[in-house]
Amino acid sequence: MNEPNTASRLTLTEEQNKLLESALRIKIMHALADEPLTSKQVAEKLQKTPGNIHYHIVKLFEGGLLEIVRTEAAGGIIQKFYRSKGTFFHSGQLSGFQFRQEDRIEHFITRLTLSPAELSDFQQELTQLIISWESRFTHGDEYGVEFVIGRLPRSDYEPEAGGNSE
């Protein structure tokens, strides 16, 4: 499994963000993270049809999220080996997921006090958790997951100096 490296985080364009609005495409990105594979090899790894995977790989490649690292001729066919450019993305915007009304949606909110080192550890742990689930071969319905971490203005969490705290 890929270790997230914030230095190699890809900032997505709006078009790339749309390309990754699919759990299958995210699984493809993870499948191609560790070693270059052909679309047929990815299909076998993900237990999907080669045509389906090839379609998604072409879209991801055209969107600049995959690269071709080599080609090989095999029986008159040119095989392309793809690698993902990363599995850790930053979109710069909230997703705007449209969740189904009949399903319960979990919404968590909290506040933490963290030093810069603790914030880094928290982000690393959260990223590892997400990556571990993104790269698993799972079945079932697709769920949107979105986390926002931001520093609050001091007035939100600390009384002004000299003020009364009741």
Q: What's the CATH number where 137 sits? A: 1.10.10.10
Say if 41 falls within a structural domain.
yes
* Domain total in the chain: 1
Q: What pLDDT does residue 148 have?
A: 79
Residues 60-78: pLDDT tens digits?
999 999 999 999 998 889 9
Q: Which two tokens stand for residue 141?
A: 């319905």
List, in order, residues 6 or more apart from 95 with CB less than 8 Å away.
21, 144, 146
Domain with 29 in it: 6-157
Sign (positive or negative) of CA dihedral 112, 114, 120, 125:
negative
- Cβ–Cβ < 8 Å for 29, 84: yes
Q: What pLDDT does residue 79 have?
A: 95
Q: What pLDDT does residue 65 have?
A: 95
Q: Which two tokens stand for residue 128?
A: 């590892």
Element (H, E) at 90: strand 89-90
Say if 118 falls within a structural domain.
yes
Q: What pLDDT does residue 102 have?
A: 72
Q: Residue 10 burial (CB < 10 Å; 0-12/13-18/19+)?
A: middle
Residue 107 backbone phi and psi in degrees, to 5 = -130, 115
Say if 134 falls within a structural domain.
yes
Q: What pLDDT does residue 73 have?
A: 94
Nearest C-alpha neighbor of 12 from the set 67, 90, 94: 90
Say if 27 falls within a structural domain.
yes
Q: What is the pTM of this model?
A: 0.70
Say if 165 falls within a structural domain.
no
- Cβ–Cβ < 8 Å for 26, 17: no
Q: What pLDDT does residue 157 have?
A: 58
Low-confidence ranges of the chain (pLDDT < 50): 1-7, 162-166
Say if 62 falls within a structural domain.
yes
Say if 68 falls within a structural domain.
yes
Q: Residue 82 burial (CB < 10 Å; 0-12/13-18/19+)?
A: buried
Say if 164 falls within a structural domain.
no
